[in-house]
Structure 1
Amino acid sequence: MSSSVEEVDFSDDSSFYGNEDTKRELERQVESYDVNSYWELHPRMINTIAQKGIEQEKIEALKKKHIEKEALEMKSEERHEIKKEHPDVKTEEYPEVKIEKPHKRFKIDPAAAQDDLFDPLAGQFCARQLSETVAEFIKRVQPGESANVGPWLWVHNPHCPKEYRRSPGTAAFIQKGTRMLRDYLEVRSLLMSEQGAQIEAQVMSQLRPLQNTLRQDIYNLAKQERVTHGKWMLFPSARDVLSTWTRVAEATVAGKLGTGSKVAASTTSSDGSYLICIYTGDFSDEDDVRRVLKELVDMSLVPPGGRGIYYKADALTHLNIQSKNEYGLKASMYSSNELLPSHPKPKQSGKEPTTPKRQRQLTGYFGKSPGKSPGKPGA
């Protein structure tokens, strides 16, 4: 069965716009069309409103992408504070960082930026700038009133020694340190399964040498990857945080303390206290750690008696080692009561004085006797 297609001839005489009546109607509409009226109504048209919404969503998506990119380019330490709930790093870079609110920034004053001064957070709204005094910075952002600028408020010692200005290999340290912790847990699990019939105390006595080795290996790795900073920690109440932070910030900028200090922008503690960290450049430099502690004592920021205050290496912070952990590691490295035994503390009636356990452990970690100059971990 054959079929044929009728050929249509579109000649020059064909009517593109229709018949004469159609053309007259179109011409009438063109003559009567009010262009000004159209553009007055245009912003209120449903299609215009919908298109604006689509464009705004694109803009917000671009903003979010820019914010996340900026967060990934932040200093490793600050970036970790944001990601501290996710310490299990498997790659050389941190996982994607998401921030609900962008960190405010402002223009850097070229006159204040000097090559020989330490200013690692130049342009960051959360940090004191070289162009402003400590008083101006604290007036600008205060703990308890500045949660929208980031988790921490920072000041740095502008004359920080150059050896402490190098960028640490934080990502590599976390990756390798996490592997060390996993290896320990595997050995512990194997040991406990083999010693199932033994009492827990016997198993723990066998684990203790492994725990000491683990701690020493972590500190050795930290030195290798230049993750050497550590901090004394203060916990002032909400009533005292501003005055305490002001004194710490002024002493830090004046070069009396360590490399820098920070205060929590808001409190997450059940008792309403804030955390203030006073940093030193090398956790194994016991003389410098003690010097900063003495300065804090002279400033009356370390109350006499009681438990004192504690020093924690950033290495353990990066690995999320808290006071109670499954690895049997002590989270703090030094305490004020151990480094300054002459500082008044509670009397222990009926007990013979003994060498502090912390000092005995440090002897093994740093290859020295308490009171002598520090060496490298494991030396």
Structure 2
Amino acid sequence: MAEGGREATPSSTTTEEYIWEFRQENRDNNDYPLTESGKWMMFYALRELDEAWERARDMYRSGQLPSICGMKVSTAYPSPENRTNQGVLIFYCGPASDKNKMLAIGRDVAEKMRYGKAHIAYKTDAQTLQGIKGSIYTIQLDGHGRPLDHGRQPDHRRRDHRRDYAPKSRSDCPVWPRGCKP
């Protein structure tokens, strides 16, 4: 919560890199080992991020995203790593190995969010920690959140091959906030 009891917004939050949203029942029902956890990522122009976060948060809180175990959104936190005019909204779900389930979740989230980009991408948490730039699934969209295809596995020629760090659980994983069930 922001000052005065108002909800924190991505554009007004400068002390944290992310705003997190988790419901305990969603975490308990969607708990996977790090190798099976992952996320759908949606990128927005900074001017659109507050509205997208509010829409996602409201749907999540009202139970309209039951397969999503948690979410986070990037903020206005000053970071040398973020040199773009974009922010990211992340929807955590798994198991990553269940392609059909992950694609169904991705299509559902894209449609409900009315995501206006050409595609969304799914990436495992292990890929993030290994520095791999890419995704294991993508869904092509029509620019209004409606899928054009049934999902595919993208080409992984763009990789950072730092494979020496492979955490064994979420408790070893800096991607997840403290207090999440390992």
Q: Same fold (TM over 0.5)?
A: yes
| 1:247 maps onto 2:49 in alignment | no
Asked whether the 8 Å contact 1:235–1:274 carries over to 2, the reply is: yes
Tell me by how many angstroms 1:357 deviates. 7.0
2:153 corresponds in structure 1 to 358
Structure 1 pair 145–252 and aligned structure 2 pair: CA distance change class (3 A): same
Q: Tell me which residue corresponds to 2:28.
A: 162
What SS does the aligned partner of 1:303 have? coil
Structure with the larger RCO, 1 or 2 (CA within 8 Å, 6+ apart): 2
* Shift in alpha-carbon separation, 1:158–1:288, aligned structure 2, 3 A: farther
**1:310 maps to which of 121, 137, 154:** 121
Q: Which residue identity does 1:299 align to in structure 2?
A: K
Identify which of 124, 136, 146 aligns with 2:13.
146
Aligned pair partner of 1:334 in 137, 141, 153: 137
Between the aligned residues of both structures, percent identity stands at 20
Residue matched to 1:10: none
- Residue 247 of structure 1: how far off its partner (Å): 0.9
Please tell me whether the aligned partners of residues 27 and 70 of structure 2 are also in contact (alpha carbons under 8 angstroms): no
Question: Is this contact kept in 1: 2:56–2:113, CA < 8 A?
Answer: no
Q: Aligned residues, how many?
A: 144
CA RMSD of aligned residues (A): 3.1
Specify the alignment match of 2:44 in structure 1.
236
Q: Cα deviation per residue 1:46-100 (whole Å; 9 max; x = unaligned)?
A: xxxxxxxxxxxxxxxxxxxxxxxxxxxxxxxxxxxxxxxxxxxxxxxxxxxxxxx
Residue 55 of structure 2 contacts residue 113 of structure 2 at CA under 8 Å; is this kept in 1? no
2:21 alignment partner, SS class: strand
Which residue type is aligned with residue 147 of structure 2? Answer: H
Distance 1:282 1:255 in 2: 20
Q: TM-score, normalised by structure 2?
A: 0.65
Query: Which runs of 5 or more structure 1 residues have no equivalent in the other structure?
Result: 1-124, 127-135, 169-225, 323-330, 346-355, 362-379
Cα distance in 2 for residues equivalent to 1:335 and 1:344? 11
1:1-379 aligned within 5 A: 139-148=6-15, 150-160=16-26, 162=28, 164-165=30-31, 168=33, 226-257=34-65, 258-266=68-76, 269-303=82-116, 306=118, 308-322=119-133, 331-337=134-140, 343-344=147-148, 358=153
Q: How far did residue 233 of structure 1 move?
A: 0.7
Q: Bigger radius of gyration, 1 or 2? A: 1
Which AA in structure 1 matches 2:153? Answer: R
Higher helix fraction (1 or 2): 1
TM-score scaled to structure 1, two decimals?
A: 0.33
SS at match of 2:83: coil
> 1:142 Cα deviation (Å)?
1.4
Counterpart Cα distance in 2 of 1:278 and 1:287: 17
Per-residue deviation at 1:256? 2.7
Judged with a 3 Å threshold, the aligned counterparts in structure 2 of structure 1 residues 143 and 358 are, in CA distance, closer, same or farther, namely same
1:317 CA drift (Å): 0.4
